[in-house]
């Protein structure tokens, strides 16, 4: 199928792309480039450079990959729709089979870039200065708003988009993402951190059939008994609470002291709010975390156990930065960057689902994908030897001549 290449119809990645029906939207050379890109991502050492991909390309120059991302006339919107369709199908099937709730997890991360000089002719597009909560300072780069879908053991990326403050706010982006999703099979929850928790997201979640659960800023005002008129900020509750007012709750392997408030918030007439401190740091400054649920029927323990399903998106950011080049991609145009994000998500889903008969987590999946890639390379070498291909020609194709 592919001349002068170790990519064949028996490739596991090629079969995966057929299942996604992505091959309907791409030419044969484009499919070839896509497979090589995924292959390079799952291979140990990928750091986001097009040269990493060109190492898998016999004969052709590395600029072919750059042009595939920036100029090649393939419709990334169709490819993204095919991927989203697959992700939705797997998540909703899992919910139907297990009865488990569906979680929409929304968060953002920053991919840092070097600030360009004033003489730079082609700086990376859509970059800007953003506040990094991780570093506690302003950094330069892309801020990426991401949506993950979770159900039971499945954790899959749904979309990634660059935040552009001149276009729309992160809240508006989150609203669009939620509206684009079908209603849950039974139970469904939107999970966000405190920066997203406001009445607009509360409302759109409810309209879309999901209950909202999220972090809450500790400067928000509640109206407990005795403070009904003026209210009190969450971070001032330590001044009036005692150990008798809190309960010890276990979430996963950790224990927390929790104060439960049910009542009014400025953004909601009725809410369930949990103020939490680690067991060893009750009422200590800087240790308070607050969480909110608009589903007031659930218990505080259920609220916290739902919220813990937000953490896989942090794992996704860490894994893609470590293994798939999310922190080091070196493409400049907006089109190239968006196509790179799409290929990253395809690779992640491939590693998560398609390299074995069962559901895998990403760390296990990428190891299996690497092994599969190596097996295919060895099989290709064996086949070439059977065909009588000269050894030097094999070395040249593998770029080890």
Asked if residue 253 and residue 377 are part of one domain, the reply reads: no
69 and 88 both lie in a single domain:
no
Q: What is the rounded CA–CA span in Å between residue 178 and residue 198?
A: 14
Q: Residue 1 pLDDT more than 50?
A: no
Q: What is the pLDDT of residues 204-229, one digit of tens each?
A: 999 999 999 999 999 999 999 888 88
Average pLDDT over residues 296-314: 94
293 shares a domain with 252: yes
Q: 142 and 226 in one domain?
A: yes
Q: Which residues contact 53 (CB under 8 A, 6 or more apart)?
A: 36, 37, 40, 62, 65
Residue 60 has pLDDT above 70, yes or no: no
Tell me the pLDDT tens digit for each residue of 340-375: 999 999 999 999 887 655 556 888 888 888 888 888
Residues 122 and 263 placed together within one structural domain of the fold: yes
Cα distance between residue 317 and residue 155, in whole Å = 13
CB 92, CB 102: distance < 8 Å: yes
- Following DSSP, what letter does each residue of 166-218 receive, concatenated? TT--HHHHHHHHHHTSPPPSS-EEEEE-TTT-SHHHHHHHHHTT-EEEEEE-T
* Residue 257 vs residue 372, higher pLDDT: 257
Mean pLDDT of 306-311: 95
pLDDT at 128: 92
Would you say 173 and 163 are in contact if contact means Cβ atoms under 8 Å apart? yes
**Bridge partner list, 233:** 221
Is the pLDDT reported for residue 83 higher than 90? yes
Decide: helix, strand or coil at residue 148.
strand
- pLDDT tens digits along 174-184: 999 999 999 99
Provide the domain count of the chain: 2
**Contact status, residue 142 vs residue 127, Cβ threshold 8 Å:** yes
Classify 69 in phi/psi space as left (phi over 0), alpha (psi -120 to 50) or beta.
alpha
pTM over 0.85: yes
Q: How confident is residue 39, by pLDDT bands cut at 50, 70 and 90?
A: confident
Indicate left, alpha or beta for 82 from its phi (over 0: left) and psi (-120 to 50: alpha): alpha
Query: Which of 42-46, 127-131, 186-190 has the weakest average pLDDT?
Result: 42-46
Domain that includes residue 191, residue range = 79-315
Arithmetic mean of pLDDT over the chain: 89
Is the model's pLDDT at 3 over the cut of 50?
no
Residues 237 and 126 in one domain: yes
Within-domain flag for 375: yes
């Amino acid at each position: 199928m592919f001349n002068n290449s170790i990519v064949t119809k028996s490739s596991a990645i090629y079969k995966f792309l057929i299942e996604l029906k992505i091959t309907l939207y791409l030419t044969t050379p484009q499919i070839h480039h896509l497979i090589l890109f995924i292959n390079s991502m799952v291979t140990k050492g990928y750091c986001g450079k097009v040269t990493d991909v060109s190492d898998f390309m016999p004969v052709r120059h590395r600029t072919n990959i750059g042009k595939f991302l920036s100029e090649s006339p393939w419709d990334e919107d169709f490819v993204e729709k095919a991927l989203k369709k697959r992700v939705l199908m797997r998540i909703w099937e899992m919910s139907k089979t297990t009865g488990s709730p569906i979680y929409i997890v929304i968060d953002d991360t920053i991919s840092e870039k070097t600030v360009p000089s004033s003489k730079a002719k082609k700086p990376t597009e859509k970059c800007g200065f953003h506040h990094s909560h991780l570093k506690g300072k302003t950094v330069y780069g892309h801020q990426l708003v991401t949506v993950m879908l979770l159900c039971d053991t499945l954790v899959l990326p749904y979309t990634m988009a660059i935040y552009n403050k001149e276009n729309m706010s992160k809240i508006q982006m989150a609203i669009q993402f939620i509206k684009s999703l079908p209603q849950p099979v039974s139970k469904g929850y939107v999970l966000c951190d405190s920066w997203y928790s406001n009445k607009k997201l509360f409302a759109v979640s409810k309209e879309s059939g999901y209950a909202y659960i999220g972090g809450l800023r500790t400067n928000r005002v509640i109206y407990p008994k005795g403070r009904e008129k003026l209210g009190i900020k969450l971070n001032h509750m330590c001044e009036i609470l005692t150990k008798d007012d809190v309960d010890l709750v276990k979430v996963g392997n950790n224990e927390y002291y929790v104060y439960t408030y049910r009542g009014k918030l400025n953004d909601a007439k009725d809410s369930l709010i949990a103020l939490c401190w680690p067991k060893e740091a009750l009422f200590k400054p800087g240790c308070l975390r607050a969480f909110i649920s608009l589903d007031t029927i659930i218990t505080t323990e259920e609220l916290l156990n739902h919220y813990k399903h937000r953490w896989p998106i942090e794992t996704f950011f860490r894994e893609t930065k470590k293994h798939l080049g999310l922190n080091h991609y070196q493409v400049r145009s907006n089109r190239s960057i968006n196509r790179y994000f799409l290929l990253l998500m395809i690779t992640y889903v491939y590693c998560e689902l398609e390299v074995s008969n069962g559901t895998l987590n990403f760390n296990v999946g990428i190891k299996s994908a690497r092994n599969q890639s190596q097996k295919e390379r060895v099989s290709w070498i064996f086949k070439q030897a059977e065909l009588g291909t000269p050894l030097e020609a094999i070395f040249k194709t593998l770029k080890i001549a």
